[in-house]
Amino acid sequence: LRMEGALQRALQRGEFLLHYQPVVDIGSGRVTGVEALLRWQPQDRGMVSPAEFIPLAEETGLIVPIGDWVLQTAMRQQVAWRQAGLPLVRISVNLSARQFLGQDVAQRVAGLLAQTGCDPSWLTLEITESVLMENPVAATETMGRLAEMGVQLAIDDFGTGYSSLASLKRFPIHSLKIDRSFVMDLTQDADDAAIVNAVIALAHSMKLNVIAEGVETTEQLAFLQEHGCDQMQGYCFSRPVAPERIEAMLRRES
Considering beta carbons, is residue 33 or 120 the nearer one to Mn ion?
A: 33
Considering beta carbons, is residue 3 or 133 the nearer one to Mn ion?
A: 133
157 binds Na ion (CB under 5 A): yes
Contact with ligand G (CB under 6 A) among 64, 68, 139, 157: 157
234 binds ligand G (CB under 6 A): yes
Contact with ligand G (CB under 6 A) among 70, 153, 208, 210: 70
156 binds Na ion (CB under 5 A): yes
Burial of 144 (0-12, 13-18, 19+ CB in 10 A): middle
CB 22 within 8 A of CB 31: yes
33 binds ligand G (CB under 6 A): no
Looking only at residues 89 through 108 of this chain, which bind Mn ion when binding is defined by CB under 5 A? 94
What span, in angstroms and rounded, lies between the C-alpha atoms of 74 and 53?
19
Residues 6+ apart with CB under 8 A from 53: 3, 7, 40
String of b and e for 200-212 (b: at least 16 CB within 10 Å)?
bebbeeeebbbbb
Question: Which residues in this chain contact Mn ion in the complex, by CB under 5 A?
Answer: 94, 126, 156
Question: Which residues in this chain contact ligand G in the complex, by CB under 6 A?
Answer: 21, 37-38, 49-51, 54, 70, 94-96, 156-157, 180, 213-216, 233-235, 240
Question: Which residues in this chain contact Na ion in the complex, by CB under 5 A?
Answer: 156-157, 213
